[in-house]
Structure 1
């Protein structure tokens, strides 16, 4: 580094100048600090890192078994940091030309089948407050395609009535306000009323909270905890695969809408995508499912394997 500033000061300045949400800033800070800790652990002076060190770091993350998306996010943050440092003339941009990850066309999380989605909903016992909460979480993600971070941000007051039907105001991923409004089916309206029915609450209270005994009750659950709850509910019905996570519920919603004939533009609006290119992932997922379940190759195999009929003798 061609500066006398401490690394902590450089990081602070970089974070301050980056136009991103507070939660993303915290994530950037965590990931860049992990990079510097790794450098120290392998005996490299953090102020004099080289391009080859980023390549080694990427390989280290891959050998740890991190997912493609995780490796991509960690390396991208490092590259962004050195691009900033280069603009400030603190050092060369040692991240130039380094690919964040190997790009795959496949979407990284699979969707549930219709029967699996139905089994998940049916498996949750709603005789307890926690059960009612968890079923509402699953329904919001599976039926309305919400992300875990969007469920986390919901307050009780975000449920509203519009022209005689229940709607929900959502703060979408990457947004700072709740401009997105979605219609809710009666099923979710009923789950919402059942869940808050036995709670003492103010309208501005968070919707999804902890119900732990002996302290901690009433605390808004984080997206990480919400995802862990969904993952455990999936394990409870025998689904425990790395490609099936809480985010798979959103993919299930999207792919089932495609299979049901909903047009791409409508799905885009429901899921809060900025363009249809992202939404078309679900078209590909639905097509792949159709090919697996009703492969045309089975028809060809049947035609080829049929024995020709013998001609009757004269």
Structure 2
């Protein structure tokens, strides 16, 4: 049995004999070196070692027996193999890993520079999305390294990351979005190879990332939409004029949540029946039809807030003061639940799909629906046609 060796600077931390010194991660990394890449042995071994440190037990047959007493056989086998490995290397001293920074994995100078300099990330929402994606990747890298497995910004690790997300039931859309963020970071690093002093091996690992394949996505909507009578119900019995105006802009005009937060009084043209909309990640506004039903609801809200009739000196004033997208999602979900309309796939963005779907069902030309929803390509708008066809197929097909 190995004796506990407690140096004054390592009291309550170290275990084993002082024939060597390893952190938990170093020990597990050596243990994992000859194991299959997909093995879960390192994870179980890490938990066992940390338990020994916490309880000040030696890593030996006694602590092994106590730890595995109530574990199933498939959990005992990895630990038995680890204990044999530990004895073979001379039962070295093991100390906890140094405390990690509380900063998020992507909160480092390199990634922050990439987010700041990326030309395609125009809006704050896009920057937040890419930061979240890179956080997820570097958190995965950290977990792999903590388990004693090699991981880095390389094609092999990114491939494993994609498989990990798939195993965690992330949607293909989200997986491809995260993959795109990592690929763009890699490309950004390659362009700054001299500044970052990258060697040829590092460059090759970065180039390999571009060959990682994403998941196939069926080109269809991943959000549900309301029927006409359901939309009417949604706009009934709303708590305030403000919430009703928000719901109308989403469910009658088809605006995105971020577009609602950007609306200014100068964007409302009641005389010409037009709305000027600043789209996501855009710097210019596009005019769309300001439907009469929505005009009436917005006008009531302006009366309620003492801003009707509109005056030219208030053109730059926001329509909804300090409104956030998460608040809009809360309002929509609350109203959906109130009328029993909340279901899987139904969200604030579903109201935009509702507008497109109902416009087509009302006989509006596909090109006009595209212009109203401000889709970049006709292909996006055609998804509504596909959904409508699926919905009416059985009724329209003759016997």
The normalised TM-score by structure 2 is 0.62
Distance 1:244 1:30 in 2: 23
Secondary structure, counterpart of 1:102 in structure 2: coil
How many residue pairs get matched?
274
- The change in CA–CA distance for 1:148 and 1:7 in structure 2 (over 3 A counts) is closer
Cα distance in structure 2, aligned partners of 1:13 and 1:232: 39
Q: Does 1:82 align with 2:194?
A: no
Q: Computing the radius of gyration over CA atoms, which structure comes out larger, 1 or 2?
A: 2
RMSD: 2.6
Q: Name the structure 1 match of 2:171.
A: 67
The equivalences for 1:183-194 within 5 A come to 183-194=289-300
Farther-moved stretch of structure 1 (112-121 vs 270-279): 112-121
Select 2:212's aligned residue among 79, 92, 98: 98
Instruction: Write the distance in 2 (CA, Å) between the matches of 1:66 and 1:207.
Output: 36
Partner of residue 257, structure 1: 359
8 Å contact 1:256–1:286 — kept in the other structure?
A: no
| Distance of aligned partners of 1:198 and 1:114 in 2 relative to their CA distance in 1, 3 Å threshold | closer
Deviations 1:249-274 (A, max 9, x none): 11111111111111111111111112
Displacement after TM superposition at 1:205 (Å): 3.0
Q: Tell me the equivalent position of 2:380.
A: 278
User: Any conservation in 1 of the 2:144–2:150 contact (CA below 8 Å)?
Assistant: no
Confirm whether residue 155 of structure 1 aligns to residue 267 of structure 2. Answer: no
Can you give the 5+ residue segments of structure 1 that lack an aligned partner in the other structure? 1-5, 210-219, 301-314
Q: What residue number does 1:176 align with?
A: 283
Q: Which structure 1 residue ranges, 4+ long, deviate > 4 Å from structure 2?
A: 44-47, 200-203
The equivalent residue for 2:111 is: 11
Deviations 1:139-175 (A, max 9, x none): 11222111111111112232124xx333221101221
| Ranges in structure 2 where 5+ consecutive residues have no aligned partner | 1-105, 308-313
> Compared with structure 1, are the counterparts of its residues 225 and 55 closer, same or farther at alpha carbon in structure 2 (3 Å cutoff)?
farther
C-alpha change, 1:48 and 1:56, in structure 2 (3 Å) is closer
Question: Quick one: distance in 2 between partners of 1:146 and 1:29?
Answer: 25
Higher relative contact order (CA 8 A, sep 6+): 1
Equivalent positions of 1:100-249 (< 5 A) are 100-122=214-236, 124-125=237-238, 128=239, 131-161=240-270, 164-178=271-285, 180-199=286-305, 203-209=315-321, 220-249=322-351
Contact 2:241/2:301, CA 8 A, preserved across alignment: yes
